[in-house]
A and B are shown apart, each in its own frame.
Chain A
């Protein structure tokens, strides 16, 4: 019995907080940035500023949630930006040709997951690196965009315009769009799936050590294919939200979005080698990107390219932080 207590003593207690350090750091960063904004610009304290961050980044949030699944398994999905664009394009073009909105929604929501599933299969069955397989997916989806049309297609459908213009708000005039609610719903569902279902836990196990996961009898291959499918689904939802937001489908929209998404996920505390991270962190990461943009817009003297530089700097800082606190299990 005495040695049992010695075992307890050997356990490394601070760890519980340790794995939350990246997320807490992101939260702190977000609060600091918000505080800076409020102290510098009077209008920043307006609640609508926060709501606007959500409105402007709702589709990014949804896509980042899907990317979180992929990165948690230690993979990466470069196709998300193109799939977002392709979904918007397909929706716009089908609506233009007069199909009913409900049918268009179904079709648009099927394309992303199908492509994700195929990429997942290529990765799992043929050992093609995720980077390359999803690069092909990226090329394909972007090519499809211009194949459909090389010019922007406006959307005039009633359902779309309603979704775009509907404001849900409080009596004082602050409001969010329906897209924000959809995005938050996706976040909640994803957080629930990751925490309370076997699939969710398998995602973490595969990212922690896929060899062990295999030996523990977990369905590694199925999980891996599934996360790319989930990411494809999230990209599809993101694409629809984007088409609500812009009321059009444009072949070159969301170019380079995958970088923002990956950056948001990493800044949100998810480890790029997999196995550690939270959807909640991803939300924070997206908010950080959104607030940076808002700050730069408010400033007026700073230019948009500072966004990229700051994001790059934050990426570096968080990757270094992850290394310093040693969240590497391999």
Chain B
């Protein structure tokens, strides 16, 4: 048995192993329950099927979670993303609804630019509070989380703004090259964030600041700028997610758009193996985490359970993932196991990551 575990250690030690396994198990369970689950077909030149749906529906969450990953890697947190989704969606829809020609590309692009700009300003506000004034991230972003909902409703004047704009709708429901546009946008954003962090030194510096802030300062890193930047990036991601959500339903509801997505995003990041304490982050893990959450939701839908009840499963997943990641919990478990098996508990997570 030892040789078996040894042989698989490089695999199980990879930090994406557990999230990937969970996703595979969930997909497998679904397939057993509903054999057609994994089938994908081409209809009118578009791909259709549950897997495609899962990908498409998880796109906004992936976007928000990407930004959140960077924020969390610096040791912070951004609670305001849900409100930002609502604000950006509301601004875009408001602008389009007031235009004479809702289908004009220029109108849509102006609307997107406007909303995106406002989101960047709000992200800068978060960054300012955290990096310059030095307020704890959870508190600083709580302000915009509360006030942002109000702002979004102010923009929509408490109404649900319905628009009829083909180009805008396409952000959520359109297809390009048989694939839903939302998926392509999410993939593009993921690649962009990956390039931003891994092709430049941003990722290294973010991980360094989150891993040891004082050592980073003494190495000459101006952490203030970096921290400021990640909140802006997070806001930008949230804005695009907001476009997608509102485009999906062709309407902006200041109250409901992006509700609780900050919690799902944080969850996705944590499931993906990025520690809430900051430091090493994994964009791939975050995407896996988002897919797990969406698969869970889709599964629950498919089983005809009330979507709200899926929160029960989510609670179980949160606790399980956090316990697995908690060193205190691992220590307790391995102590207990150590008592029964003679094998010394050499399962040190950091050592396993080496082989990754």
Contact = CB atoms under 8 A, between A and B. Distances in A.
A and B touch in the complex (CB under 8 A): yes
Contact of B150 (A273, A306, A316): A306
Contacts of A262: 142
Contacts of B151: 305, 308-309
B327 A127 contact: yes
A139 B150 contact: no
B319 A127 contact: no
A313 B309 CA distance: 34
Contacts of A127: 326-328
Interface residues on B, range: 35 or more
Nearest to A317: B143
B156 to A, nearest CB: 9
B328 A125 contact: yes
Interface stretch (A130-138, A194-202, A210-218): A130-138
Contact of B157 (A136, A143, A303, A307): A303
A104 interface: no
Given A259-B145, A305-B254, A313-B147, A140 B311 contact: yes
A327 interface: no
A252 to B, nearest CB: 7
Given A136-B322, A139-B315, A312-B148, A272 B310 contact: no
Interface in B299-318: 306, 308-315, 318
Contact of B153 (A129, A305, A319): A305
Contact of A143 (B153, B309, B329): B309
Given A128-B323, A146-B309, A312 B146 contact: yes
Contacts of A146: 306, 308-309, 311
Main secondary structure of the interface of B (DSSP, over half): helix
A65 B326 CA distance: 30
Given A127-B328, A308-B150, A312-B150, A142 B322 contact: no
Contact of B263 (A135, A263, A315): A135
Contact of B306 (A122, A150, A272): A150
Contacts of A309: 147, 150-151, 154
Contacts of A323: 133-135
Given A311-B147, A312-B143, A143 B328 contact: no
A183 interface: no
A145 interface: yes
A138 B315 CA distance: 8
Contact of A252 (B146, B150, B308, B327): B308
A206 to B, nearest CB: 17
A147 interface: yes
Interface in B93-119: none
B290 interface: no
B338 interface: no
A179 B98 CA distance: 47
A140 B312 contact: yes
Interface in A131-182: 131-133, 135-140, 142-147, 150
Interface in B217-246: none
Given A136-B315, A140-B311, A131 B77 contact: yes
A312 B142 CA distance: 8
Interface string B119-140: 0000000000000011110111
Nearest to B125: A316
A135 B266 contact: yes
A312 B147 contact: yes
Contacts of B182: none
Contacts of B150: 305-312
A136 B322 CA distance: 10
A76 interface: yes
B309 A132 contact: no
B173 interface: no
A311 B309 contact: no
A242 to B, nearest CB: 18
Contacts of B133: 320, 323
Interface of B: 77, 133-136, 138-140, 142-154, 157-158, 254, 263, 266-267, 270, 276, 306, 308-315, 318-319, 322-323, 326-329, 332
16 contacts: A128-B322, A133-B319, A135-B318, A138-B315, A139-B315, A144-B312, A145-B308, A146-B306, A146-B311, A150-B308, A305-B153, A305-B154, A308-B150, A309-B150, A309-B151, A312-B143
Interface of A: 76, 122, 125-129, 131-133, 135-140, 142-147, 150, 251-252, 256, 259, 262-263, 266, 272-273, 303-313, 315-316, 319-320, 323
In the complex, the 10 A-B pairs of residues with the closest C-beta atoms, listed nearest first:
A312-B147, A308-B150, A143-B312, A305-B153, A143-B311, A146-B308, A309-B150, A140-B315, A139-B315, A136-B318
